[in-house]
Chains A and B, each alone.
Chain A
């Protein structure tokens, strides 16, 4: 789920910025802000974090223009995204998508928002998670042994815990603001959707507590995904909505889905792997 979801996310991310790619990242005098300042600020924090300036420098050294290097970076993202969806060269694709996206995000600096942060989180876990998974093309080509289920469960648990921390602190900071209690934010919600008052803060704040229970998981997962879809539709933040839904489904949906299969009376008892997956978590 995480691999396919992030693959789709990467393709959408690249395609949505297709016509503004050079305008956002070039340093030829035709850019909006340019990567010089964000990259200089990044260097004061860490000189080892990847940035597009590195790619550009390498490209110029071998005789490529900056716009060609940026086009290559864009195509790398699209190809890596497509490869992730199919599960072809899964590990290499995950690494390429992670590094190129991270480079773009860090070079964009002030032009970044939450979606870049969450994509980085997703890629970071994907890069280290057991790959290829059993649904990937790699698995069929290489006929490799299925990945260690315990390790798979570990990485899913890390993602689950991370999401709980994210929602808890998002809810906590929202709940600490006056506007979420006195109704003024609800009012602003009417003018600037999709904020629907304290319900959002409570949904996020309670997420770490109710997402684990068998009976409440489906409700909270549906609620949180609905909230993100609403944000995406109302504010046009489609990429942000997509990455959050992907992370949530990757962390929690498969278990719920598998539970349903295992728990139903007519469930096929010939699915030991699927059921063991539940036990691993």
Chain B
């Protein structure tokens, strides 16, 4: 009987966490007007958002033991994030390319390469993170780290130029008018040999 109660209590708590995290994601999407819902809903969601954040302990200090225990459990159980895959809309594809310049004036274009399709999906996920992050410093750090791999593959290069952008797919009407997918430039970074040799900033 006692065991049953323990299991039941855990079950309730576990699903409260899962539902709360999922609800928080939905509320966040509505509050940031990323859904088809009318603006009045966004206004309401903006009011609800701090409540959901508080309920999940996100307003507590990062060193708070309760918050740490909660996050540890979520990471161990795989419940630390919601389930809005490909939602609310199918995302655009981010692209990262590198222009490599040599001392003799030659230039070539290259992409980060991996050996398998499974790893390729992970690189695509990384590019999504770079594209979505609101922190420019984090974006630059990650691009710089990837540029390091390009340096190693092209040791005689003098300059590496990173170009980060997004592939925009045409709408039905645009496609009928003959428009193809478009690459939209978002960020660019230039790395010289000296810069690449410098130690990377500590996170």
Size of the chain B interface, CB-CB below 8 angstroms: 62
Q: Which residue of A lies closest to B23 (CB)?
A: A169
Most B CB within 10 A of own CB, among A16, A106, A172, A174 = A172
Contact residues of A between 160 and 184, Cβ < 8 Å to B: 161-162, 165-167, 169-170, 172-174, 176-181, 183-184
A48-B72, A154-B7, A184-B172 given as contacts; is B89 within 8 A of A17 (CB)? no
> Does the CB pair B87–A165 fall under 8 Å?
no
- Note all chain A residues with C-beta closer than 8 A to B68: 45-48
B159 to chain A, nearest CB (A): 20
Whether B46 is near chain A, meaning CB under 8 Å from some CB there, is: no
Q: Which of B67-103 contact A (CB under 8 A)?
A: 68, 71-72, 75-79, 81-90
Docked pose: A33 CA to B71 CA in angstroms? 24
Q: How far is the CA of A110 from the CA of B142 in the complex (A)?
A: 10
Q: B28-53: contact bitstring with A at CB < 8 Å (1 yes, 0 no)?
A: 01100011110000000000000000
A233 in the interface (beta carbon within 8 A): no
CB distance from A157 to the nearest CB of B (A): 8
Query: How many Å lie between the Cα of A19 and that of B119 in the bound state?
Result: 9
With the chains together, A111 CA to B116 CA distance in Å? 14
Kindly identify which residue among B19, B30, B81 contacts A176, using a CB–CB cutoff of 8 Å.
Answer: B30
Flag whether A258 is at the interface (Cβ < 8 A). Answer: no
Interface residue? A108 (CB, 8 A): yes
Q: CB of A113 within 8 A of chain B?
A: yes
Contact with B along A35-50 (1 / 0, CB 8 A): 0110011101111110
Closest chain B CB from A53 CB (angstroms): 13
Asked if A173 contacts B87 (CB within 8 A), the reply is: yes
Q: Is A195 an interface residue (CB 8 A)?
A: yes
A169 to B83, CA, bound (A): 6
Residue of A110, A165, A189 most packed against chain B (CB within 10 A): A110
Give residues 86-136 of A contacting B (CB, 8 Å): 102, 106, 108, 110-114, 117-121, 123-124
B112 within 8 A of A: yes
Measured as residues with beta carbon below 8 angstroms from the partner, the interface class of chain A is: 35 or more
Which of A48, A176, A238 has the most chain B CB atoms closer than 10 A to its own CB?
Answer: A176
> Out of B36, B86, B129, B148, which one reaches A178, CB within 8 Å?
B36
Indicate whether A19 sits within 8 Å of B22 (C-beta atoms), given known contacts A121-B77, A179-B88: no
A33 touches B146 (CB 8 A): yes
User: Are B122 and A113 neighbours in the complex by a CB distance under 8 Å?
Assistant: yes
A203 at the B interface (CB under 8 A): no
Docked Cα-Cα span, A158 to B17, in Å, equals 13
Assess the A117–B71 pair: CB atoms within 8 A. Answer: no
Please tell me if A57 contacts chain B, counting CB pairs below 8 Å: no
Q: Does B55 contact A (CB under 8 A)?
A: no
CA distance A123 to B88 in the complex (A): 28
Known contacts A32-B123, A169-B25; decide if A17 and B76 are in contact (CB<8 Å): no
A206 contacts chain B at the CB level, 8 A cutoff:
no
Complex CA–CA separation, A36 to B22 (angstroms) = 29
The answer to whether the Cβ of B203 comes within 8 Å of any Cβ in the partner chain is: yes
In the complex, how many angstroms separate the beta carbon of A209 from the nearest chain B beta carbon?
Answer: 16
A33 to B114, CA, bound (A): 12
Q: Assess whether A62 is interfacial by the CB under 8 Å rule.
A: no
CB-nearest residue of chain A relative to B88? A177
Q: Which residues of B contact A260 (CB under 8 A)?
A: none
B15 touches A174 (CB 8 A): no
The answer to whether B125 touches A192, judged by C-beta atoms less than 8 angstroms apart, is no
A176 touches B87 (CB 8 A): yes
Q: List chain A positions with a Cβ less than 8 A from chain B.
A: 13, 16-20, 23-24, 29-34, 36-37, 40-42, 44-49, 102, 106, 108, 110-114, 117-121, 123-124, 154, 158, 161-162, 165-167, 169-170, 172-174, 176-181, 183-185, 187-189, 191-192, 195, 236-239
Closest 3 CB pairs of A and B: A177-B88, A120-B78, A16-B118
29 sampled A-B residue pairs with Cβ under 8 A: A16-B116, A16-B118, A18-B116, A19-B115, A20-B114, A23-B115, A24-B119, A24-B122, A31-B149, A32-B126, A33-B146, A48-B68, A112-B122, A121-B79, A158-B11, A162-B18, A165-B15, A167-B83, A169-B84, A173-B25, A173-B88, A176-B26, A176-B88, A177-B88, A178-B36, A179-B90, A184-B89, A195-B86, A236-B120
